[in-house]
Amino acid sequence: MPSLRDIRKHIKAVKNIKQITYAMKMVASARIKKAQNQILSFKPYVNYLEDVIANLSSQFDDENLLKYDFSRFLKRDFKSGNIGLVVVSGDKGLCGSFNNNILLHAIKFIKSNNDKNFYLISVGKKSVDFLKKISNINIYYQISNIFPKVNYIHALLLAEKVIEMYDKYNLENVYIIYMEFKSLLKQELKNISILPLLNYFNNNNQNRNSDNFIFEPSKEELLNNLIPKYINIEILRILLENQASELASRMNAMEQASKNASELIDELTVKMNKLRQAQITTELNEIVSGANAIKS
């Protein structure tokens, strides 16, 4: 049976943990507001750029489209058996099941396509550490320690590696697994095929503008410049979504941890009071018994 001293030490340790979890919750709460604003201000630009590219590409028939170098980003007409996969996790833990859900989904996705050759890019320290331990997986590129300060340079570097891997191994598709931010209480696991782009656009079910325009420079030159830019921007959006989701998960996890710590402190305090009362009662009984013995 623990002594009063042991229980007091336990209460003090739990209080220290509660202070840490509460501080982490407040830090995540402060950062997530900025992350939310970045996503909200970014989405209209990404959606409009997607509309422009989809509209321009729809004005080429299949035969003319294949004449241009940028057509490889829009569609693939062959089966190479090679697939690219970008796994975006967090850099740190203490965010509930956030990282586990992403990594487990990545493993299930690879196993469900075991007839394909996978080439992986891991983003975030958790995915880097996890995926490098798995045998028979081709790790093409790794990047970590970018959250929670993701910027355009990170997205540009990652997009260059995605395009490089896509061309080098003649990949049929490039999938990205990440967590999309819905709200502070809800984050949705996503597995999207970002390349080729026409499949991605069709899956998003966007309404396309079919009006006729006069383009300067030419449509071909516009597509040649806009497609790599769009890939950069879309990857930045994905990184921002994942960053906000990680912060929301950490905030919720630390809030629950603080709540659990408070409940544990209350339970330990009740236990300590009961033990102290029992000790006082025992001491009183001993005093009374001693007094009675002296009288007799």
Question: Would 227 be classed as within a structural domain?
Answer: yes
Domain count, the chain: 1
Question: Would 6 be classed as within a structural domain?
Answer: no
The whole domain housing 75 covers 23-207+219-253
Question: Would 164 be classed as within a structural domain?
Answer: yes
Instruction: Specify the CATH number for the domain of residue 89.
Output: 3.40.1380.10
Structure tokens at 195: 């390349």
Residue 210's pLDDT is what?
46
Tell me which long-range contacts 214-222 makes (C-beta under 8 A, separation of at least 24): 215/56, 219/56, 219/59, 219/60, 220/68, 220/70, 222/56
Give the bridge partners for 190, in sequence order: 178
For residues 191 and 3, give the distance between their C-alpha atoms in angstroms, rounded to a whole number.
53
Question: Would 281 be classed as within a structural domain?
Answer: no
For residues 174 and 195, give the distance between their C-alpha atoms in angstroms, rounded to a whole number.
5
Give the bridge partners for 141, in sequence order: 121
pTM of the model: 0.84
Place of tokens 């989809």: 54
Question: Would 181 be classed as within a structural domain?
Answer: yes
Residue 66's pLDDT is what?
72
For residues 292 and 280, give the distance between their C-alpha atoms in angstroms, rounded to a whole number.
18
For residues 113 and 29, give the distance between their C-alpha atoms in angstroms, rounded to a whole number.
38
Question: Would 7 be classed as within a structural domain?
Answer: no
Question: Would 2 be classed as within a structural domain?
Answer: no
Question: Would 121 be classed as within a structural domain?
Answer: yes
Cα–Cα distance list, 68 to 18, 59, 159, 201, 272 (Å): 60, 14, 21, 19, 77
CB 49 within 8 A of CB 204: no
CB 47 within 8 A of CB 206: yes
Residue 7's pLDDT is what?
84
Beta strands 117-123 and 187-195 are unpaired
Residue 106's pLDDT is what?
93
Q: Render each residue's pLDDT in the chain as its tens digit; 296 residues.
A: 678 888 888 889 999 999 999 999 898 888 888 888 888 887 888 888 888 888 887 777 767 777 778 888 888 777 888 999 999 999 998 888 999 999 999 999 999 988 888 999 999 999 999 988 887 788 999 999 998 889 889 999 999 999 999 999 999 899 999 999 988 888 999 999 888 887 667 655 454 554 566 777 778 888 888 888 999 999 999 999 999 999 999 999 999 999 999 999 999 888 888 888 887 887 777 777 777 777 76
CB 193 within 8 A of CB 200: yes
CB 144 within 8 A of CB 123: yes
